[in-house]
Amino acid sequence: GHGAPYAVTEAMLDMFLINGGKGLKDAQLEDEDHPIAGQLMGSHPQDMAAGVKVLIEMGYDVIDVNLACPVKKIRRKCRGGHLMQRPDEAIAILSAAKEAAGDDAPCSVKLRRATDDSAQAAANFDRIFEAVIDLGYAAATVHGRTVDQKYIGPSRWSFLRELTAKY
């Protein structure tokens, strides 16, 4: 309630929402919080779908899937940006989240431009990004750095320029 026209939560793990307790308590909304997106991160389509349902029941206006977080502890369970190297899994999660949201809330997604600078990573991004469009996601935010770069070094602005021209 600080006057922002739109807000997105920090990334919440699907399991924290599903299991209740502190994770669920931290996700509670106040009336003045709207419109707000619940940003969700997870490893398995069925858990992400369950997490989406919890957020919708709590009154979140938008579901935002995180495929961008580069943090190492996330890598062990392959979620966030590390899913960019596993396009089939990433697409299954995007599909499950969109299906769970149905007509109750639009979905958006955060992505990195790739895992690294390899041709395979670029191909993985293209597959995932095209799935985002095909699945009917309302918006996509693309970070101009790779997952391996974390938050260090230059963003590749030319990538973002080319991406917007292509789509």
DSSP 10: P
**8 φ, ψ to 5°?**
-125, 135
Which candidate in 69, 74, 107, 147 is catalytic?
A: 69
Two structure tokens written together for 57:
């029941």
Q: Which residues contact 86 (CB under 8 A, 6 or more apart)?
A: 78, 124
Q: Specify whether the CB–CB gap between 50 and 16 falls below 8 A.
A: no
Cα separation, 47 vs 12, in Å, equals 12
Q: For the chain, how many residues are written?
A: 167
Asked about 69 being catalytic, the answer comes back as yes
**13 φ, ψ to 5°?**
-75, 135
Unique residue bearing structure tokens 């899994």: 89
Unique residue bearing structure tokens 């389509």: 45
- Sign for the pseudo-dihedral over CA of 150, 159, 36, 19: negative
- For the annotated catalytic residues, the residue numbers are 69
